[in-house]
Amino acid sequence: MAEDKKEYFRWVESTYVNPDIDWKKAEIISAGIDVGSVSSQMCVLCDGEIYAYSNTRSGSSSPNSAQNAMDLCLKDTDGLKLDDIHYLVGTGYGRVNIPFCQRAITEISCHGIGANFMYGPTVKTVLDMGGQDCKTLRLNEKGKCLNFLMNDKCAAGTGRGMEVIAEILKVPVTDIGDRSFDIDEEPEPVSSTCVVFAKSEATGLLKDGWSKNKVLAAYCAAMAERVVDLLNRIEVEKDFAITGGIAKNKGVVKRIEKLIGVEALEPKMDTQIAGAVGAAIYGRALYKKQKK
């Protein structure tokens, strides 16, 4: 690809370091790395509080993706290194390939604990819309997963699906949500949610005179419908929260809320780090258990 060719599917990688924490004074430093198929994150906790995190795009090698996430996370942390971390837990689909983690825990459990930390103990139902799968979780007040459902057979309703739509319509993926509401009338959801045929489908609609925004709205509506199916099967109980990349897409989120008649809790931090946060919390608990 030419350097100047715009890549609409690219969302921005990010990092964060908490300026109010001095890691050298922390008693227990735990961390979690979530290597997903589309994105990877690392989160560092100092005595149970978020100290630093990173959110990067995954590559084709899981160990490299983990390393990249870590390098970005620790970059501005005033000298924090892997050796300083007391316990590191790996999660996500690439968890079996992270050479420097002490334990691997599935992203299902980690998202539960992560959501509990990020949204509070009232969260009973979590929807995670990740890069390549969608899952719904039922939690207890400690964030422990009691029950879950996963859809990883179909790309519709996943981040990959959204990235493909962004490329086809040449709309930056981060703009999709807002633009999907800049329309006159809510359209019917697209009939074929198959992401591979999205191009023909979209071309047809544009030819029929639909604006790009309307096409985006139709796709968001179709994705919302697919995801709601999963939610209905697990039976949504308040409070309801969303994690993962698509939580940032208001076009899908608002339509889901409308279909299930429940509003999701407002996110106060980057929704993509939920897995890494949960893994780091597990890390802290495992370290304490180990010390006993």
- Report the interface residues with other proteins, using CB under 8 A: 37, 60-62, 93-94, 97, 103-109, 113, 132, 142-148, 150, 152-155, 160-161, 164, 192, 194-197, 199-200, 203, 207, 281-282, 285-286, 289
Query: Residues near 192 by Cβ (< 8 Å), separated by ≥ 6?
Result: 201
Closest to other proteins by CB, 78 vs 196, is 196
Closest to other proteins by CB, 183 vs 285, is 285
Instruction: For the beta carbon of residue 235, count every other beta carbon within 10 angstroms.
Output: 10
Q: How far is the CB of 245 from other proteins (least distance, A)?
A: 15
Q: How far is the CB of 210 from other proteins (least distance, A)?
A: 14
For 207, the 3-state DSSP assignment is: helix
Spatial strand order in the sheet of 134-139? 145-151, 134-139, 125-129, 240-243
Closest to other proteins by CB, 6 vs 75, is 6
Closest to other proteins by CB, 17 vs 39, is 39
Instruction: For the beta carbon of residue 208, count every other beta carbon within 10 angstroms.
Output: 9
Q: How far is the CB of 37 from other proteins (least distance, A)?
A: 4
Q: Which amino acid is at 72?
A: L
Both tokens assigned to 34: 């979530």
Query: Residues near 253 by Cβ (< 8 Å), separated by ≥ 6?
Result: 177, 242, 246, 247, 264
Instruction: For the beta carbon of residue 7, count every other beta carbon within 10 angstroms.
Output: 11
Closest to other proteins by CB, 109 vs 243, is 109
Both tokens assigned to 220: 């968001």
Q: How far is the CB of 155 from other proteins (least distance, A)?
A: 4
Q: How far is the CB of 181 from other proteins (least distance, A)?
A: 26
Q: How far is the CB of 104 from other proteins (least distance, A)?
A: 6
Closest to other proteins by CB, 276 vs 281, is 281
Query: Residues near 71 by Cβ (< 8 Å), separated by ≥ 6?
Result: none
